[in-house]
Homo-oligomer: A and B are copies of this chain.
Amino acid sequence: MEEVITKRPREDEDNNGNDAAANGISSIIPGWFSEMSPMWPGEAHSLKIEEILYQGKSEYQDVMVFQSATYGKVLVLDGVIQVTQRDECAYQEMITHLPLCSIQNPKKVLVIGGGDGGVLREVSRYPSVEQINICEIDKMVVDVSKQFFPNLAVGFEDPRVNLHIGDGVAFLKNAPEGTYDAVIVDSSDPIGPAQELFEKPFFESVARALRPGGVVCTQAESIWLHMHIIEAIVSNCRQVFKGSVNYAWTTVPTYPSGVIGFMLCSTEGPQVDFQHPVHKIDESDDLNKSKGPLKFYNPEIHSAAFCLPSFAKRVIGSNTN
């Protein structure tokens, strides 16, 4: 339906009529942040700014934090909303508990990206986990999160967490084979520093680093906007992962089109049935007690996330288990 643009256009090619990509602040609605991108042409979601709290430029991207009128604090990278305090629960809980509730007693977990700490916060709910490695490319994201998003950055305080600042692709290439029970790829869109995280060589590194029957969950765009990207990711994953290959999705109001998807795959070995979690978290579960109750995730929403609209099912095909 829409053209998919996978490379950032030069400034003079950007016909969105604003400089959002350059500095993250809309010049067209004074006092508002407008999210415009060639990834979703012809539409923009805007949030009213109460106060700009931080603006910086790292080696990799523009970093901004603002206090919004109705969504709490907002983290923006290269003009794209990554996190708002009001709806971050949906993304962080789903990208973490979809894979971790699908296997018994995860012990070693690797997070690629996720420098805000939100995924770490969710991984650290599991008493079975012994080691949480995280490889984030941009130290500024970690620092900014620690300063402005204590409820996300709390994830870094767990003594099981080892933070590596560096390239996730290189980190995985050097990871010992068959190490991890789960890898969670919490990346931004494939038009900035995260581009390689959507390509086949990266998935091969992930598969190599997982134990037999280990699982990966990776951010996989919107069925409403990016079916071509999703089709390519699914095709790559079907070639690389010899266990099962599934697409799931959930609602996040401040992401474009209001939804975000996840690829969930397992390597050859003990069978993983992603659609039916082996760990069924209920209100009395230890996971709900340790860090306060989960706001979004529960076993029913887990299974429901794998049910696709007909237009998506026809392209992606059936989830396999």
Contact = CB atoms under 8 A, between A and B. Distances in A.
Interface in A18-76: 28-32, 34, 40-48, 68-71
A228 to B, nearest CB: 15
Given A42-B48, A253-B257, A259-B251, A294 B307 contact: no
Given A293-B310, A313-B298, A46 B48 contact: no
Copy number of this protein in the oligomer?
2
A87 B309 contact: no
A307 to B, nearest CB: 4
A28 to B, nearest CB: 5
Interface in A253-270: 253, 257-259
Contact of A298 (B296, B303, B304, B309): B309
A309 B293 CA distance: 12
A224 B87 contact: yes
A2 interface: yes
Contacts of A229: none
The binding surface of chain A is classed by DSSP as loop
Nearest to A41: B70
A43 B29 contact: no
Given A69-B42, A258-B253, A300 B307 contact: yes
Contacts of A224: 87, 251, 253
Between A252, A259, A307, the greatest number of chain B beta carbons within 10 A of the residue's beta carbon is seen for A307
27 contacts: A17-B31, A29-B29, A32-B44, A34-B46, A40-B70, A42-B69, A42-B70, A43-B45, A43-B47, A43-B70, A45-B46, A87-B224, A251-B257, A253-B259, A257-B258, A295-B310, A295-B311, A296-B309, A297-B309, A298-B307, A298-B313, A300-B307, A301-B308, A301-B309, A303-B304, A303-B307, A304-B305
Given A40-B70, A89-B311, A295-B310, 15 more contacts: A28-B28, A29-B29, A32-B44, A41-B48, A42-B68, A43-B46, A90-B309, A251-B251, A251-B257, A251-B258, A253-B259, A257-B258, A258-B259, A298-B309, A301-B307
> What are the 8 closest A-B residue pairs judged by CB atoms, nearest first?
A258-B258, A42-B70, A42-B69, A304-B304, A304-B307, A300-B307, A253-B257, A42-B48
